[in-house]
A and B are shown apart, each in its own frame.
Chain A
Amino acid sequence: MIGAAAVVDGLAIALLSVALFSVALRGLVSAVWLLVAQSILLAFVAATIGVSSGAAHMWAAALLTLGVRTFAVPAVLFRVLGAVALKRETRPLLSTRSALILAVGLVLVAYVAAGRLELSDAFPARQALPVSLALTFIGLLLMATRRKAISQLIGLITIENGVFLAGLIATLGLPLFVEIGIFFDLLVAVGVTAVLTLRINEQFDTMNTDLLRRLRG
């Protein structure tokens, strides 16, 4: 029998690979699908920890993850993509190759940094904490190097996923009502960002945020 910790470790590694794929690929539709994959994996992490620890609210966390992160958020993103008729991330600041090299470097940093944090009570999955840090870093990398508004939003959600994973394994999730509040905020954040993206698109006829470089000083 495979222990729950090993399952969570496997899911964490899968999450990391998915995140690295989103650095490697430039298609926006595939980027949203990769986000869906991240969310499903996260929901499985929550469910696995729920089964093994018997914490009932982990099931609620898993269901919320499925509902909000897997359905609602991607649905909004697909609608935005449909409205702006945009297919690919063009001209990112870094070439795909250098972005990938940087991402792998960040993963190494995450493993080193996570090794220094001692969480003796945490769920005994060794890969989960470093992966959560790595997701956060990769999200930051996406936000910093991509120019399309929607790619930056995907980077932001990747950061959130990293923090969420850390919360799951470090403390079996935050208290449920806090968790619900955070999910609600995420949903509103995606909605507000989507509205803003559409307005940027209609003002600039593009979703390039590099035109958003006029305010200085």
Chain B
Amino acid sequence: MSLAPLLVLVPLVAAATCAVAASRAAAVSAMAASLTFVVGSIVAFSSFAGPPEHALYGLIYVDALSGLVVLIIAVVAAIASLYAVAYVGNAVRAEEIAPSGVGWFYVWIQLSIAAMFAVPLMNNLGLMWVAIEATTLTTALLVAFFRRRHSLEAAWKYLMLGAVGLGFALFGLVLTYYAASHALGEAAAALDWDQLRANAGALDGALMRVAFALVLIGFGTKAGLAPMHTWLPDAHGEAPTPVSVLLSGALLNCALYAILRFHLLAAGALGASFSSDLLLGLGVISIVVAVPFVLVQHDLKRLLAYSSVEHMGIVALAVGIGGPLGLFAAGFHMFNHSVGKTLLFVAAGALGQRYGTLRLSRLRGAFEVAPVPALGLVIGTLAITGAPPFAPFASEFGIAQAGFAGRPAALAGAVVLLAGSVLVFGGMLFHVLSVVLRTPPRRVHAASFPFAAGFVGLPLGVLLVMGIWLPPPIRDAFIAVAGVLEVVR
């Protein structure tokens, strides 16, 4: 009996409970997220160790790739929900959120977590699409939760671009279904992943070419791949910080996961080069587009958001490069980015509440005002920009190595990756150091951040350990993910 259905069920029940018992919503949400963290870890690690698993009459399908995304969502959702308790408390005291709105905040948080977990679990690609659309809808009002002008603008842009993107993806899905019902016969099972993967070679190549392009544009919008990323910095910057954590750490990976599934189908039908080259190209574009915006950034959370565009590009690039090493590093990097970015957003949120702003020029002297988040911000920046000995260095190094050993396009991609990483490293570190090192302003807000050392120390510890030494079960996990992503040539 698989535990996977619980991952959707628990957040749904929690959401209902939060709606009824608004006064206990924070505790309910934190408990539910801790529970899904445990369940998600169990589901993920059993998927890494064994063959793909079905549950709920074939509705749910869990292989190592789903497992990795489940693990990422479980970790990020737990941190976001636990951090939300302090964050929302501060926001209510600062009168940014009305006390009556608190219950609803947690209702939407838990609903969005349920939708995110559904994405990697659905066997049917149509239902996967439905789940991704549900993640947009459940997070849209959260982005606008402060009801300020800028956050409404961000939410509107997010909703419209996300919906148009998903319209494209749906068109691609229809074409895939057409190709599949041609090859497999007219049945609901024609959109089931296990069926499709097994028969990918029989799908019509010309159709899958168009279908993959549409899906890449559509889900690529949601995954924040440039040039469809324009909603992302706004939404990540304007959303309440726990929501930014969910968007950047978990949601982007859900959309990327969907792209990877279709990539495998297109590669099965057409051979690896078409979809791999498109992924590689979009990855390179994302890195190139993100760099200048990181360099000239004036807002801390937008800085982190553009860094997410860069990192989604790096993962797409890694899958495009392919090969055992490239695919291993792709999964590894997805995990590293999520852990690192979660830490950075939490630190940024804590600082933002002390200063009452996220403008980089106003966040002076953070080391004196809030030493723990400031330290997390600096070391986290070092880690996420690929400084050794942290894990993102190891995964980016693996990607570059795979690129240099690969075809000419992969080589070019690796060069862009290295150049981009150096520039982003310099740019982000400059911004962050200029934040923490100057004289603090005379007045800052009071905002509590309990367990600060844990929120900062645990993710950093994970990234540090995994950068130096990958424990065998985790190494096997990424090998299993690479096995799923391996395209049979």
Contact = CB atoms under 8 A, between A and B. Distances in A.
Interface in A182-217: 182, 184-185, 188-189, 192-193, 195-196, 199-200, 203-204, 209, 211-215, 217
Contacts of B129: 178, 181-182
Interface in B462-488: none
User: What are the 10 closest A-B residue pairs judged by CB atoms, nearest first?
Assistant: A178-B126, A181-B130, A175-B188, A212-B153, A185-B133, A167-B174, A215-B234, A159-B167, A170-B178, A171-B178
Contact of B140 (A118, A172, A177, A192): A192
Residues of B in contact with A, size category: 35 or more
Contacts of B171: 136, 163, 166
A1 interface: no
Given A196-B156, A215-B150, A160 B167 contact: yes
Interface string B165-201: 0010011011101100110001110110000000000
Nearest to A185: B133
Interface string B200-219: 00000011001000000000
A185 B137 contact: yes
Interface stretch (B141-149, B353-361, B427-435): B141-149
Contacts of A51: none
A143 B164 contact: yes
B139 to A, nearest CB: 10
Contacts of A200: 152, 156
Given A196-B156, A196-B159, A214-B149, 17 more contacts: A117-B207, A149-B156, A159-B167, A170-B175, A171-B177, A171-B181, A176-B188, A177-B127, A177-B188, A178-B126, A178-B127, A181-B126, A203-B147, A203-B148, A212-B156, A215-B150, A215-B157
Given A122-B178, A181-B126, A212-B156, A174 B191 contact: yes
Interface string B411-442: 00000000000000000000000000000000
Nearest to A181: B130
A140 interface: yes
10 contacts: A136-B167, A160-B167, A160-B170, A175-B191, A178-B127, A189-B137, A196-B141, A212-B152, A215-B238, A217-B298
A125 to B, nearest CB: 15
A94 interface: no
Nearest to B174: A167
Given A163-B174, A172-B186, A212-B157, A178 B124 contact: yes
B293 interface: yes
Contacts of B379: none
A156 interface: yes
A177 to B, nearest CB: 7
A156 B167 contact: yes
B55 interface: no
B27 interface: no
Contacts of A184: 130
A39 to B, nearest CB: 16
A167 B170 CA distance: 9
Interface of B: 124, 126-127, 129-130, 133-134, 136-137, 140-141, 144, 147-150, 152-157, 159-160, 163-164, 167, 170-171, 173-175, 177-178, 181-182, 186-188, 190-191, 206-207, 210, 233-234, 237-238, 293, 296-298, 302
Interface in A128-164: 136, 139-140, 143, 149, 152, 156, 159-160, 163
A156 B178 contact: no
A123 to B, nearest CB: 11
Given A200-B152, A203-B147, A171 B130 contact: no
Contacts, number: 134
B167 A182 contact: no
Contact of B127 (A170, A171, A181, A188): A181
Contacts of B182: 121
Interface residues of A, number: 46
B155 A217 contact: no
B450 to A, nearest CB: 32
A174 B156 contact: no
A177 B57 CA distance: 14
Given A196-B152, A196-B155, A166 B174 contact: yes
A119 interface: yes
Given A121-B178, A121-B182, A176-B188, A192 B141 contact: yes
A189 B133 contact: yes
Contacts of B148: 203
Contacts of A143: 160, 164
Contacts of B153: 212-215
Contact of A217 (B127, B152, B154, B293): B293
B137 A156 contact: no
B188 A195 contact: no
Nearest to B238: A215
Most interface-central of B136, B153, B188, B293 (chain A CB within 10 A)? B153
Given A121-B178, A185-B137, A215-B150, A193 B167 contact: no
Contact of B144 (A117, A175, A185, A199): A199
A176 B126 CA distance: 10
A204 B152 CA distance: 10
Contacts of B167: 136, 139, 156, 159-160, 163
A204 B127 CA distance: 37
* Residue from the set B124, B140, B152 with the largest chain A CB neighbour count within 10 Å: B152
A82 B104 CA distance: 26
B178 A204 contact: no
A174 B177 contact: yes
A188 B108 CA distance: 13
B425 to A, nearest CB: 21
Contacts of A203: 147-149, 152
A103 B334 CA distance: 42
Given A156-B160, A178-B191, A196 B140 contact: yes
Nearest to B166: A185
A189 B155 CA distance: 13
A108 to B, nearest CB: 19
A203 B157 CA distance: 16
A185 B170 CA distance: 12
Contacts of A209: 156
B141 A195 contact: yes
Contact of B154 (A140, A170, A178, A215): A215
